[in-house]
Amino acid sequence: MEQIQLAGPQGPKPKKTTVSRLGVYVFLFSAAIFFCIPLYVMLVTSLKGMPEIRLGELFALPGDPSFAAWVKAWGEACSGVECNGIQTGFWNSVKITIPSVAISIIIGSINGYALSFWRFKGSNMLFGLLLFGAFVPFQVVIFPLIIFLREVGLYGSLTGIILIHTIFGMPIMTLLFRNYFASLPDELFKAARVDGANFWQIFFQIMMPLSIPVTVVAVILQTTGIWNDYLLGLIFAGRDNLPMTVQLNNIVATTFGVREYNVNMAATILTALVPLAIYLLSGKYFVRGIAAGAVKG
């Protein structure tokens, strides 16, 4: 054995690697446990009954798993005076998210296209201003927007909240599409121009079919972002259109008397389900969306 070790530099290496390998896996597994605990706790709590929860065994598996809390969270849980469960919020979120995502992507893609191929005087300046909007704390613009929407009669309406999400989605959507179109070869555009295609023809016939991958990223980015929004929904959506996140917080906060932790946790899971599903199904696109959100040209 010693001879082999002396013979070449390859000798001790594997042994050393196994020790550090073990360290790597210990680190990764402990990190994985830390990240899993909340999801695990949510899940087991939502499947327990209240007597079992009162035993205080947070991590114990449910003795008699039941979906009763889920049913209650979906259809009967009370937020404020109403007791229709979180389903109202779910459908509100659907009604808010779908048009907001569609409109902000349509506008963002046209903006990005105009910015990459049809620059006009001042277009860089406009884009700079728009980009600045991606960083402005919402708090700075919310009040003037409340007043504006009140003036035009859209405050507290579905249209109003969709408009707001479109406005706040525009910087990042424009940036995303601008960067994508900028990466396409210039010749493509020039050839179409030589053939006499105009602004919209080039957009619909050449650019749109080419931008399917980036559109997928945009859809993921916007859907999770808008679904997870709390502040804008709270302020602009109005009583009848409160999104799921707001309703969830109301349900958890306004439970009088006995706090039904199982129902609260079931409602929490239900709220997280849509973005989680998007994340798990879209994989790499989600990460790409994040990288795009990182505002890096």
Partner 1 sequence: MATSAKMSTPRRAKHVQISSLLASAPMAIVAIGVFVVCVGYSVVLSFTKSRLFPNFNWVGLDQYERLWGTSRWVVSVENLLVYGVLFIALCLISGFFMAVFLDQKVRFESGFRTLFLYPYAMSLVVTGLVWQWMMEPSLGIQNVVQRMGWESFEFAPLVSSEYAIYGVLIAAVWQSSGLVMALMLAGLRGIDGEIWKASRVDGIPTWKTYLFIVLPMMRPVMITSVVLLAVGVVRVYDLIVAQTGGGPGMSTEMPAKFVIDHITARGNVGLGMAAATMMLLPVLLVIGPWIYREYVRPTKH
Residues 252-291 that bind partner 1 (CB under 8 A): 252-253, 261, 264-265, 268, 271-272, 275-276, 278-280, 283, 286-287, 290-291
- Per CB under 8 A, does 92 bind partner 1? no
Q: Which stretch binds partner 1 (CB under 8 A): 61-69, 73-81, 136-144, 206-214?
A: 136-144
Residues numbered 203-232 forming contacts with partner 1, rule: CB under 8 A: 224, 227-231
Q: Which stretch binds partner 1 (CB under 8 A): 63-71, 78-86, 152-160, 166-174?
A: 166-174
The helix (run of H) or strand (run of E) holding residue 106 is helix 87-117
Output the DSSP codes for 208-230: HHHTHHHHHHHHHHHHHHHHH--
Q: Please report how close the Cβ of residue 67 comes to partner 1 at its closest, in angstroms.
A: 19
Rounded Cα distance, 173 and 187, in Å: 24
Q: Does 114 bind partner 1 (CB under 8 A)?
A: yes
- Under rule CB under 8 A, residue 102 binds partner 1: no
Give whichever of 174 and 211 is closer to partner 1, judged by the CB atom: 174
- If one asks whether residue 4 binds partner 1 (CB under 8 A), the answer comes out as no
Q: Smallest distance, Å, CB 96 to partner 1?
A: 14
- When binding is defined by CB under 8 A, the residue of 135, 185, 195, 212 that contacts partner 1 is 135
Q: In 10 A of CB 249, how many CB atoms?
A: 18
Judge contact between 174 and 127, C-beta under 8 A: yes
- The minimum distance between CB 236 and partner 1, in angstroms, equals 12
Min CB(240)–partner 1 separation in Å: 18
Q: Is-contact 108 173, C-beta < 8 A?
A: yes
> Rule CB under 8 A: is residue 149 a binding residue for partner 1?
no
Q: Does 138 bind partner 1 (CB under 8 A)?
A: yes
Please choose, from the candidates 181, 180, 169, 184, the residue with its C-alpha nearest in 3D space to the C-alpha of residue 107: 169
Query: 3-state SS of 170-206?
Result: HHHHHHHHHHHHHHCCHHHHHHHHHCCCCHHHHHHHH
Burial 50-85 (b: 16+ CB within 10 A, else e): eebbeeeeeeeebeeeeeebbebbbeebbbeeeeeb
Q: How far is the CB of 157 from partner 1 (least distance, A)?
A: 18
For the segment 172-191, give every residue that binds partner 1 (CB under 8 A).
174
Binding mask of the shown chain, residues 12 to 41, with x at each position contacting partner 1 by CB under 8 A: ---------x--xx-xx--xx-xxxxxx-x
How far is residue 43's CA from residue 66's CA, in Å, rounded to a whole number? 11
CA-wise closest residue to 60 among 47, 73, 72, 71: 47
